[in-house]
Amino acid sequence: MAIPCYVSGKGMYATERTRQFKVTVIEQLEATGIGYDTRYRYYQRQFPTMAPPALPSPLPPNPSPRERAHRAGLQQGLHNEGFLDEKTVDGQNVYDLLFKFLDPKLVKFQYQVSSIEWGFHAVHYFRKYPGRFISMHAQGWDAKTRKIVAIGQGTLNWKQIFEAAKVGGIKNYFVEVPLPLMKASMPYLHKLQV
């Protein structure tokens, strides 16, 4: 299985050179079978001549790009943002398939807490896949308004999330919210006992 990627850039502020670079990276990912871009719908709108990527089915032959990176001392990480809304492949959840197909020693996962928007609960995944995660992007979430809020506000149980994060293997935590929400999150995080 190819690695889902999000080819980052400056979005709407990207120069034509940046846009062309993105297209080249996406085409190389697909051509080599190493990966595919998870935001292909966005790129299809910007670059209508691009063919839509598909999930390759077999794992690449040994040594895979992941194994070569591991041998070079690199820890690969996969971020669960940007492709969870693509739901399933042959009736199976894409995210769970990645845990099944990617070798735990070669690829660790970064968890996006706001993916609860699509029904992905951090506590569930940290406990279901112990030791498979390396970092977490934290955002508060309000289920009633369906909006990102400051950590400690909204409907998430942060004590449970941080306890489960230990089981999941999280080593790095990032508060990933706009500055006003970050400021509002800090008092809660300073007081939180886990």
Q: Which of 98-102, 137-141, 149-153 has the lowest mean pLDDT?
A: 98-102
Q: Which of 7-16, 65-74, 138-147 has the lowest mean pLDDT?
A: 7-16
**C-beta separation of 53 from 35 below 8 A:** no
> Which domains does the chain carry?
1-58 (no CATH), 62-194 (3.20.20.150)
Q: What is the 3-state secondary structure (H, E, C) of 56-72?
A: CCCCCCCCCHHHHHHHC
Instruction: Choose among 162, 169, 154: nearest CA to 191.
Output: 162
Q: How confident is the model at residue 71 (pLDDT cuts 50, 70, 90)?
A: confident
pLDDT at residue 52 is higher than 50: no
User: Distance of CA 70 to CAs 60, 104, 184, Å?
Assistant: 15, 11, 39
Q: How confident is the model at residue 192 (pLDDT cuts 50, 70, 90)?
A: very high
pTM of the model: 0.67
Beta strands in 94-189 (DSSP E): 107-112, 133-138, 140-142, 147-149, 172-175
pLDDT digits (tens, 9 = 90+) for 2-38: 555 555 554 544 566 666 666 666 666 666 666 555 5
Q: How confident is the model at residue 42 (pLDDT cuts 50, 70, 90)?
A: very low
pLDDT at residue 126 is higher than 70: yes
pLDDT at 55: 35
**C-beta separation of 170 from 133 below 8 A:** yes
pLDDT digits (tens, 9 = 90+) for 80-102: 776 666 567 777 787 888 888 88
Number of H helices, E strands in the chain: 7, 10
pLDDT at residue 132 is higher than 60: yes
pLDDT at 85: 60
